[in-house]
Amino acid sequence: MKTQFHLALPCISISKTHAFYKDILGAQIGRSAVKWVDVNLFDHQITFTECGPFKFESQSYNFNGDILPSFHFGVILQKVEWDKMLDRLNSKNTPIVAQIKFLESKIGEHHSFFIKDPNNYTVEFKCFNTSSEVFKS
């Protein structure tokens, strides 16, 4: 199924969120108002609404020895795009929370890096060695 995805999230500051996604990630900004903004992240719509922080009771989990955030979102990119995004973030001195190779030598092997946005959300960028293995088990 090739279609666009929509995600709506609460945020702490519209101006900081707008600046991060536009200036740091290079995402396009869509419609917006005083208390909300639509972000085009690789042709997927994320709507941020300024209403305060979202609180999580279970903030992380263990996956093969790596501690990962239980709530995160992100995009799957081709290797060239993944490398460009990593270079962009490094050039803007954006801290990379973690960079991990998952499922090494197994079906679904992929590389990921994680960053934090101004709302303390974790954003993951993935690239699979074999794109046909994204959903393969």
pTM for the model stands at 0.83
| Torsional sign, CA 20, 23, 26, 29 | positive
Query: DSSP H helical segments within the chain, as ranges?
Result: 14-19, 79-91
Tens digit of pLDDT for each residue in 58-93?
Answer: 677 777 777 777 788 999 999 999 999 999 999 999
**Tokens read off for 60:** 């992380």
pLDDT of residue 130: 92
Cross-strand partners of 41: 44
Tens digit of pLDDT for each residue in 39-66?
Answer: 999 999 999 999 877 776 767 777 777 7
Domains in the chain, ordered, with CATH?
Answer: 1-52 (3.10.180.10), 60-137 (3.10.180.10)
